[in-house]
Amino acid sequence: MRWTRGERSENIEDRRGESGGGGFPIGAGISGLGIGGFLLLVVFSLVTGQNFFSLLGGESGDVSSTGDSFEHHLPQRTSPQEEELVDFVSFVLDDVQQTWSRILPPQGQPYRDAKLVLFTDTISSGCGFAQSAMGPFYCPLDQKVYIDLGFYKELQQRFGAPGDFAQAYIIAHELGHHVQNLLGIFEQIHEAQQQTPEQANFLSIRLELQADCLAGVWASSTTRRDLVEKGDIEESLGAAAAVGDDRIQRQMTGHVSPETWTHGSSTQRVGWFKRGLESGDLQHCDTFHTNLPGE
């Protein structure tokens, strides 16, 4: 991706030196995993919204639970490579938000910038205490995106999705949730899930796939602005496919259980990202009244 290194976004909150208490309650099944296996389960749980720790047979916590916590600041040690990654994240953050600030107002919806919080290991957010640093998420209550940069290493090494445009896709997807929040979609889906709990996963999948489509709308704008280099689109498609529920489940458990999906299959995620990419139009991202790819 063609990008320029400049002053960091005023919407970046760097909390990498901040640490909180708490964590997953360790059950008997977890104790034999080792740190690599533990982190892998954390990644899969956060990306899919499913508690993979329950597969181990021991007690485990909810990855989005809240509780008592403490915060303190630790000495922050970074590398030039990590600081360059921060600059890249800053560039993408501003570019995505500037894109939506052009798209939404003509449709009667002002755009309000989200903040992006960089953190390490644990963080206290407006949506509660995040007990793992390994997965990006958007909190509609404080309108912030939370990212541990270590996730990008996992994205490349464990998910097999390398490249800077794959990294940009993650940010664009989370900011897609911010657009949904501004449009009132988040609140509507939350209310619908409360009224019809049996449809909660169904609605969650639609919400996530719409965020993929909105990420595609942003990616479409980068092609018109000549920011895309050879292989970039393939990187973003690879990232969308890599975090499909079916692929994660197959890698994690050896079998696929569609009834437990919360984000959609690889085919569905790629399909809706491509729909936004090819149309460049927010109006083409209605996942709630359209059959999904693979259905």
CA 163 to CA 177: how far, in whole Å? 22
The beta-carbon contacts of 32-39 under 8 Å, at least 24 apart in sequence, are 39/134, 39/154
CA 243 to CA 234: how far, in whole Å? 15
Farthest CA pair distance, the chain: 56
**Top-confidence residue, 47 or 128:** 128
Condensed to tens digits (0 to 9), the pLDDT of residues 24-74 reads 333 333 333 343 444 444 444 544 444 444 444 433 333 333 333 334 444
**Top-confidence residue, 188 or 155:** 188
Q: What is the pLDDT of residue 224?
A: 93
Q: What is the pLDDT of residue 62?
A: 39
Looking at the chain, how many residues does it have?
Answer: 295
Q: What is the pLDDT of residue 134?
A: 52
* Cα–Cα nearest to 176, from 220, 222, 145: 145
CA 156 to CA 167: how far, in whole Å? 9
49 torsion bin: left (phi>0), alpha (psi -120 to 50), beta (else): left
CA 154 to CA 48: how far, in whole Å? 14
Helices and strands counted in the chain (H then E): 9, 8
Taking a C-beta distance cutoff of 8 angstroms, is the pair 14, 89 a contact? no
Q: What is the pLDDT of residue 251?
A: 81
Per-residue tokens: 256? 């696929």
Using 50, 70 and 90 to split pLDDT, how confident is the model at 132? low
pLDDT exceeds 50 at position 150: yes
Alpha helices in 183-264 (DSSP H): 185-195, 200-224, 232-242, 245-253
Task: Determine the residue type at 54.
Answer: S
Domain extents in the chain = 12-284
Q: What is the pLDDT of residue 61?
A: 37
CA 258 to CA 245: how far, in whole Å? 8
CA 259 to CA 118: how far, in whole Å? 33
Taking a C-beta distance cutoff of 8 angstroms, is the pair 42, 63 a contact? yes
Condensed to tens digits (0 to 9), the pLDDT of residues 70-98 reads 344 444 678 899 999 999 999 999 999 99
Condensed to tens digits (0 to 9), the pLDDT of residues 101-120 reads 999 999 999 999 999 999 98
Q: What is the CA radius of gyration of the chain?
A: 18
CA distances from 72 to 20, 75, 92, 115, 132 (A): 7, 10, 29, 21, 16
Q: What is the pLDDT of residue 292?
A: 61
The pTM (predicted TM-score) of the whole model is 0.80
Condensed to tens digits (0 to 9), the pLDDT of residues 192-245 reads 999 999 999 989 999 999 999 999 999 999 999 999 999 999 999 999 998 898
Mean pLDDT is lowest, of 113-127, 154-168, 173-187, 189-203, for 154-168
Q: What is the pLDDT of residue 45?
A: 52
Q: Is 48 helix (H, G, I), strand (E, B) or coil?
A: helix
